[in-house]
Amino acid sequence: MTTHEAGSERQRHPVDALATFLEDKARHIRTIEQHANEVLHEQNDQAGYRALLSQKAELLAALPDDAEHYVTALPDAIARSVQERLNRFALSASNALRIGSIFYMSALLYPEDHKQGAKNDLELYADEVRDIRY
């Protein structure tokens, strides 16, 4: 978790590193969702749509393991809270994969009252993480 600035190396704050990681995952998921919608609506490819939504769910299911390096760099109390939240994302995604529901997979990260163009739950959580101070 280092960054280079003007030729010198300095340690990145663990919160910033985790927030950046989550933002990157959220961007990747948005890209998958956009591609899935194109595959469904422009190509009428149900199997391709299902495969892409499964990829989205798999990324979310792996989130706690993928983020472990970042989470362990946080103080214990904050790490526990973050891990719990990441586990909730993963549990929902694992359930969607287990039952094989396209609808459930498409709805991951989006509450019922989500407005088109608004941030999804992972993007909002990345913002929350970025605001953590200790």
Inform me whether the pLDDT recorded for 20 exceeds 50: yes
Mean pLDDT confidence for 46-60: 98
pLDDT at residue 9, as a whole number:
45
Helix (H) or strand (E) holding 94: helix 76-99
pLDDT at residue 7, as a whole number:
41
* Cβ pair 1, 11 in contact under 8 A: yes
Mean pLDDT across the chain: 93
pLDDT at residue 3, as a whole number:
47
Distance, CA of 68 to CA of 62 (rounded, Å) = 10
Distance, CA of 2 to CA of 97 (rounded, Å) = 35
